[in-house]
Amino acid sequence: MSGPSRREFLRTVGLGAAGVALGVGAAGRPRRARAEPIHLAGKIIEAAPIRRGGPARLAGGKVIQPQHEVAVIRETDVLVVGGGPAGVIAALAARRAGVEVTLVERYGCFGGLWTGGLVLIVLATHSRSGGKLTKCVRGIGDEMLERLVKVNNGIMNQAPGRSNPTSDPEATKYVMDEMLREAGVQILLHSWATNAIMDGSAVGGVVFESKSGPKAVRAKVVVDATGDGDVFGAAGAEHVRHVHRIGLVHRLGNVDRIDRAKAKAAGKRVPSLGSATPIPSVRWVNMQGPSADCLDVEALSRCEMDARRAIWRKVTALQAIPGCEQVYLLETAAQLGVRISRTLKGTCEMTLADAKAGRAYEDVVGVGGGYGLTWEKACQIPYGSMVPVRVDNLLAAGRCVSADNRMMNYTRLIAPCFLFGQAAGAAAALAVNDKCRPRDVDVPKLQKLLKKQGAYLG
């Protein structure tokens, strides 16, 4: 944010707060709205104050959070929470449909598990029948993959006759940034959504935590692309919780310098080193990991540290093999590899039995590619899988959509997440434009819009 706009912002906040102070002043103690001083080299200038209603208090041994008003820093048409593959594409789809969009992301980059989690392969992009390969994942997701082709070492296997490409995480972050910028999506990074704002049974926005303190963004429609379903969980929407394996992905460098002949001469076998990446000297190594509740912070902490130790042991053992001395641990993922935590109870639950039977939906909003789980069959995605049973003005996108405990191992793949994202974004924009609830969106109109955006609906 540039100087004048910051000043402007402060003034607005100040005026707003002053107004509140006047109102509250009559009832209780008055509140002061004042900019805080901040040191810039030798000068002292004004900075926005960080408010959280004062510190938490101890009362009878219990910790009590202060009750306070949260500043609304933005009002938008569509708010997308979570900047993974689904969230980014939802934001792009909504923005391109002509509405104001704000995208909130808890980490400092976009791409979620695809980049920060180092899960680099985009699975289920194509279906295969009778040896014929059909590209199912088109639209904005494919546009993104195509843009990665233009980046040096950006992506591999993104070409005719190829499927399930693997991308470079840094290239992906960069391409996502650029696409969001070009579309004009409002961005809030380092912002962790903590609560839903409810207006009756409808979601009216989200409160998130940040270095600037707790803030609120109000929106006409919210897309929950948090992966964990943090927004619909907080909004009280019906959902299912799952325990699943948690891994930690890592990347190895210098794998092209492995001397297999040397290892063989020493009577050693070089173990499996994960999968190739667009960078020839680098491989990414997945991890299955132990099963745990992915919403349990203690479990997450334990998994993170145990996994890192396991990786170091593995890499050290690898380096001890003659010929593998130069291989090194390039990085462990910034984000823990959470596979699934919450899934929404949507108006239509996707099931593996339906996928296996090749079920067709009237409200199809995307066609996922084939995967072992669906017997390589293309898999239709119903709009109902993203619409909560009761809560309004909210759509889910990404791995937390409505799916049974087998099908979720398909819906959590990156390519299907692209599709959920585009469908949710387009539907949210349509709901705003038509002034209706997302559940009342005219499905044929939504399908038309998606096709206009390049999506493939079978």
Partner 1 sequence: MVTAAGKALARYALRCTALVGLSALLLAAPARWGAWALSALSPHLAVVSSVALRSVGLMAACSVPMIVLTAWRRRWFCRYLCPVGLIAETCGRAGLLRKLEYAKLPPVGQWLALASLGGAIVGWPLFLWLDPLSIFSGAAGALGGPLTVAGAVPAVGLAGVVALSFVAPGLWCARLCPLGGTQELLAGLKQRIARAGRPEGGSRQTGARLARRSVLCAGAGAACALAIPRLFRASPPKLRPPGAAEEMRFKALCVRCGNCRRACPSGIIHRDLGGEASSFLTPVVRFPPERPGQRYCLETCHNCIQSCPTGALERLTLEQKNRRPIGLAVVDVSECLVTADKTCAICVDVCPREAISLAFCEETYTNTVRIDPSRCNGCGACVVVCPVDVVTITAL
Residues forming the site for partner 1 (CB under 8 A): 121, 123, 128-129, 245, 247, 271-272, 274-275, 285-291, 306-307, 310, 313, 352, 356, 370-373, 375-377, 406, 409
Instruction: Tell me the C-alpha distance between 271 and 319, whole Å.
Output: 11
CB of 258 to partner 1, least distance (A): 16
3-state DSSP assignment of residue 304? helix
CB of 123 to partner 1, least distance (A): 7
Given the complex with partner 1, which of 218 and 356 has the nearer CB atom?
Answer: 356
Given the complex with partner 1, which of 352 and 386 has the nearer CB atom?
Answer: 352
No. of helices (H) and no. of strands (E), the chain = 11, 26
Given the complex with partner 1, which of 294 and 426 has the nearer CB atom?
Answer: 294
According to DSSP, the residues that pair with 203 across neighbouring strands are: 198
Q: Is the dihedral of CA 394, 400, 405, 406 positive or negative?
A: positive
Given the complex with partner 1, which of 92 and 282 has the nearer CB atom?
Answer: 282
CB of 376 to partner 1, least distance (A): 3
Q: What is the CA radius of gyration of the chain?
A: 24
CB of 288 to partner 1, least distance (A): 4
Determine the residue type at 411: T
Instruction: Tell me the C-alpha distance between 410 and 291, whole Å.
Output: 18
According to DSSP, the residues that pair with 293 across neighbouring strands are: 243
Instruction: Tell me the C-alpha distance between 195 and 299, whole Å.
Output: 22
- Residue indicated by tokens 């839903």: 196
CB of 161 to partner 1, least distance (A): 17
Given the complex with partner 1, which of 336 and 441 has the nearer CB atom?
Answer: 336
- Residue indicated by tokens 């429609």: 221
Given the complex with partner 1, which of 407 and 429 has the nearer CB atom?
Answer: 407
CB of 240 to partner 1, least distance (A): 16
- Residue indicated by tokens 């540290």: 305
